Structure 1
């Protein structure tokens, strides 16, 4: 959890419910709230000219998203869409700013969270320069596994569908499926009941 839920509610936050597929924020809209996920999973994505969706990230319980837009006058460059039914805590921008000014330690907490997220982006953007789909997927999966503190072989269930892995890496789903089968043969990962373990 990035900011204590009780603290957010004590400063006027409200709990919003979203169903799977609902837009929480839309590209080109004006940032008005701090969003933190109480429960559920969200995808941050952009739709490309050819209609394909590119996923920038998939935050879930306890994580905030798009908070950096509250420190600029720019409009959202991404959509936030509920993947599952979600409970989202939202706090008006002005109240969020007041909270940070009252408790400056929260600024450091947010900055630390943003730094971790930027590290993730740097690590996961590097595979785009590799042509080999297996290399792309392996780098992404290894990073996610390490992020959650798993070390043993096949101990970590990848929390993404094959379609989400395709959208995260900019590949076609067919390419991802073939690469995963190849990785299974190479014993890089294990598939159990269609779930991927690395």
Structure 2
């Protein structure tokens, strides 16, 4: 999102996180801006029973965790590496200076945050009122279009486990498996060698 050169000019460091490493934890004070060079990061919470709920998935070129940084509040979720990831990490004061000196970057970030907020509002409505198949299709379409920027029927290979889809949609794994079979029968998805395509 933000040019790597600009982030480095303002003092960003390149950090390596391995699968399972936590970048920050729920309840911690937001002190840095994070942007992925390569890899995949999830933001998640756990309920009292230990069930994971994935708030978001972020890949190459995407940033994450900005709202608490800009709002001066604590993180509402954890950030964890799904696989080995190289991440640019920029201290908050440097980040705010960057936004002041690069208004076009500030506007681009604002647009990105607005799209995420719009998606969250839709997903809250979907999760509370829609059937499992509908929830799954909405999350897959969001990932296809807005995260991976893929067009075309069945061009998007879903690199999520059934458990991760359950964690993203608030469903049980068994429900996801049944719903996926229903979606395949309706021609909404294709399943080849256990891999899902949308």
TM range, normalised to the smaller chain?
Answer: over 0.9
Aligned equivalents of 2:4, 2:65: Cα separation in 1: 17
Identify the residue that residue 99 of structure 1 maps to in structure 2.
Answer: 98
1:62 matched residue in structure 2: 61
C-alpha contact 1:28 1:77 (8 A) present in aligned 2: yes
TM alignment of 1:36-75, pairs within 5 A: 36-75=35-74
Mapping 1:1-198, distance limit 5 Å: 2-130=1-129, 132-147=131-146, 148-198=148-198
Deviations 1:12-34 (A, max 9, x none): 11011110000001011111111
Structure 2 SS opposite 1:85: strand
SS in 2 for 1:75: coil
Q: For residues 10 and 125 of structure 1, what CA distance do their matches in structure 2 show?
A: 38
The whole-number CA distance in structure 1 between the counterparts of 2:103 and 2:183 is 46
C-alpha displacement of 1:142: 2.9
Q: Which moved more, 1:83-92 or 1:158-167?
A: 158-167
Q: Is the 8 A contact 1:130 1:136 kept in 2?
A: no
How big is the shift at 1:62?
0.5
Specify every segment of 5 or more residues in structure 2 that has no aligned partner in the other structure, as ranges.
none
CA distance in 2, matches of 1:167, 1:95: 34
Higher share of residues assigned strand: 2
Inter-CA distance 109–173: structure 2 relative to 1 (3 Å threshold) = same
Distance 1:142 1:23, change over 3 A: same
CA contact (8 A) 1:38 1:89 kept: yes
Shift of 1:151: 4.6
Aligned residues: 197
State the TM-score, normalizing by the size of structure 2.
0.93
- Shift of residue 131, structure 1, vs aligned partner: 5.1
Write the deviation string for residues 136-189 of structure 1: whole angstroms up to 9, x where unpaired.
112222333343554533222223221111000001111111111121122221
Distance change (3 Å), C-alpha of 1:131 and 1:71: closer
